[in-house]
């Protein structure tokens, strides 16, 4: 159960883009519109209700904050309590946005609760093409030329891609793990749907990620009227529901 519920912290969003997103002539990019990124995605705090088999088990919070030097803090945390199980997690990515691409600078992960506590801290140097594990004081070489991102900031890249090209049907994200390995996360367009959430009634598009070897499928709903904010997440494994997340509150910061 711990392994299943831990998946909550890896998805929401949420969702680095391996292939350059195609821009349609009728859909100008953020840069082409000459608008600042903060005008497209203002600072916000989104709260989600976490459910398992329709029963509430906790909440999640996703925040975006603008810092000095054109940096952005992208933060995600979960607090789960289910029977005798408890789990609190926190992820924070510091990034920059350049030409519609998310540039990772650092990533911090903290977990405590039932089972073993974990903590990871990474710092990225794009000029030197390296990533440093600050906890172990270990540096590794990485190729950032294909848009490599960490396990949190790729969700922000996905949202930018959806804003710039809402007709796109397939997304591939090479992501560096908390241990330094790289794995592609792939999402496929899966339709449109109007759904009722604690937040209210919203029209959405749905993306799907399937991991065949693990028999796991994740569905993610994004609301165009909220600039493609992730509003719902649902995951099943071997036909059995694992969890569901629903947007309940969205507020500016």
pLDDT above 60: residue 15: no
Rg of the chain in Å (alpha carbons): 18
Mean pLDDT across 147-157: 94
Confidence of residue 16 (pLDDT cuts 50, 70, 90): very low
pLDDT above 50: residue 2: no
Q: How far apart are the first and last CA of the chain?
A: 35
Enter the tokens of residue 196.
């009722």
User: Is the model more confident about 51 or about 20?
Assistant: 51
Q: How far apart are CA 104 and CA 125, in angstroms?
A: 9
Q: Give the pLDDT confidence of 193-235 residue by residue, as tens digits.
A: 999 999 999 999 999 999 888 888 999 999 999 999 999 999 9
Q: How far apart are CA 91 and CA 147, in angstroms?
A: 20
- Of 236, 248, 235, 151, the closest CA to residue 196 belongs to 248
Confidence of residue 181 (pLDDT cuts 50, 70, 90): confident
pLDDT at 35: 52
Q: How far apart are CA 135 and CA 82, in angstroms?
A: 30
Write down the domain spans for the chain: 2-252
Query: What sign has the CA pseudo-torsion 224, 191, 196, 237?
Result: negative
Q: Give the pLDDT confidence of 78-128 residue by residue, as tens digits.
A: 999 988 889 999 999 999 999 899 999 999 999 999 989 999 999 999 888
pLDDT above 90: residue 6: no
Tally of residues, the chain: 253
């Amino acid at each position: 159960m711990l392994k299943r519920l831990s998946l909550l912290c890896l998805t929401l969003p949420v969702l680095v883009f391996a292939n350059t997103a195609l821009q349609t002539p009728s859909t100008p990019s953020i840069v082409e519109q000459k608008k600042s990124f903060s005008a497209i995605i203002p600072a916000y705090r989104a709260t989600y209700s976490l459910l398992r088999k329709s029963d509430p088990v906790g909440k999640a919070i996703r925040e975006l904050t603008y810092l000095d030097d054109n940096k952005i803090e992208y933060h995600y945390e979960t607090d789960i309590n289910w029977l005798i199980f408890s789990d609190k997690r926190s992820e924070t990515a510091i990034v920059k946005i350049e030409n519609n691409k998310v540039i990772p600078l650092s990533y911090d992960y903290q977990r405590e609760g039932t089972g073993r506590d974990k903590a990871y801290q990474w710092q990225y140097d794009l000029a030197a093409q390296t990533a440093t594990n600050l906890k172990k004081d270990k540096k590794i070489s990485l190729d950032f030329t294909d848009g490599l991102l960490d396990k949190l900031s790729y969700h922000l890249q996905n949202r930018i891609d959806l804003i710039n090209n809402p007709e796109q049907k397939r997304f591939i994200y090479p992501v560096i793990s908390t241990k330094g390995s790289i794995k592609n996360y792939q999402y496929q367009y899966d339709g449109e749907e109007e759904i009722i959430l604690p937040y209210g009634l919203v029209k959405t598009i749905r993306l799907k990620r399937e991991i065949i070897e693990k028999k796991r499928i994740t569905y993610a709903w994004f609301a165009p009227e909220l600039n493609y904010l992730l509003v719902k997440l649902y995951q099943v494994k071997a036909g059995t529901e694992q969890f569901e997340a629903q947007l309940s509150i969205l507020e500016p910061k």
